[in-house]
């Protein structure tokens, strides 16, 4: 579904990704973990064209990611950011249906019906007519997930979707993501939620200084990592004091 082969990316003289190679199969949940600044978010941003990789190849559903294929890639792969950045002047339902109506050219009535079904799925149907400033951060992120699903993607990229949330709201977002994993949605997730990653990840990749240091089954890597650097990172994350 998503394949990286020898991908490199630099910002000026600073190498951010160094010869990154991995793949995520259809229906898999893969979690990228690692310290801040290690290149995790850049991996996601190279997939949907927010950043352009310097060398190597990235494929989505068998097609190379390039300037020519990028519009199709963005239709197939949705992204959920740290902050959902909803349109403040549009209602919750309008935020969800914006893409289907204006990008996928769906009939507004059909988009509204599907949008309401998705809002119900994430527990936000009763807020369909509210505006974003009437919602908590966690509720806005749930709407962001519904908006991503509204594009009927074959995969979703999550860039630390809970990092900006109040701790009380984190569980609401993780619950929805867990449901998507159980339903077989292909997901590539950058996260610091190690318990969640251990529970849902089919695969985990530990990235440090732009290099995949270790990868393996989610539970195995997050419980009994083989590499000293991975063990040190997990110890610092799980035992911060």
pLDDT for 74-89, tens place per residue? 889 999 998 889 999 9
Mean pLDDT, residues 171-176: 90
Q: What is the pTM of this model?
A: 0.94
Q: Which residues contact 25 (CB under 8 A, 6 or more apart)?
A: 1, 186
pLDDT above 70 covers a percentage of the chain that reads: 100
Measure CA 219 to chain center.
19
Which pLDDT score, from 0 to 100, does residue 5 have?
97
The CB density around residue 85, as the number of other CB atoms within 10 Å, is 11
DSSP 122: T
The confidence band for 1, taking pLDDT boundaries of 50, 70 and 90, is confident
In the beta sheet, which residues pair with residue 3? 23, 59
Residue 46 tokens, joined: 């190279």
Starting at the edge strand found earlier in the chain, the sheet holding 63-64 runs: 14-24, 2-11, 55-60, 63-64
Which pLDDT score, from 0 to 100, does residue 170 have?
87
Mean pLDDT, residues 56-81: 92
Which pLDDT score, from 0 to 100, does residue 166 have?
80
Which pLDDT score, from 0 to 100, does residue 171 have?
87
| Average pLDDT for the chain | 93
The confidence band for 241, taking pLDDT boundaries of 50, 70 and 90, is low
- Nearest to 93, CA basis, from 120, 55, 61: 120
């Amino acid at each position: 579904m998503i394949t990286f082969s020898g991908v490199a990316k630099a910002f000026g003289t600073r190498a951010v990704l160094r010869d990154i190679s991995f793949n995520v199969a259809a229906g898999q949940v893969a979690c990228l973990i690692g310290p801040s600044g290690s290149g995790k978010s850049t991996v996601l941003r190279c997939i949907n064209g927010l950043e352009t990789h310097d060398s190597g190849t990235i494929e989505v559903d068998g097609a190379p990611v390039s300037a020519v294929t990028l519009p199709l890639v963005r239709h197939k792969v949705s992204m959920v950011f740290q902050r959902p950045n909803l349109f403040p002047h549009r209602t919750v339902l309008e935020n969800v249906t914006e893409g289907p109506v204006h990008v996928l050219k769906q009939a507004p009535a059909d988009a509204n019906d599907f949008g309401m079904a998705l809002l119900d799925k994430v527990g936000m149907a009763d807020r369909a007519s509210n505006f974003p400033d009437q919602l908590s951060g966690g509720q806005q992120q749930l709407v962001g997930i519904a908006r991503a699903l509204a594009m009927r993607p074959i995969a979703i990229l999550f860039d630390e979707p809970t990092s900006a949330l109040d701790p009380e709201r984190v569980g609401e977002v993780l619950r929805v993501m867990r449901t998507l994993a159980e339903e077989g949605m292909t997901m590539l997730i950058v996260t610091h939620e190690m318990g969640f990653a251990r529970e849902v990840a089919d695969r985990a990749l530990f990235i440090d200084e732009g290099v995949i240091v270790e990868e393996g089954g989610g539970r195995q890597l997050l419980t009994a990592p083989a590499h000293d650097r991975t063990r040190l990172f997990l110890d610092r994350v799980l035992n911060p004091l």
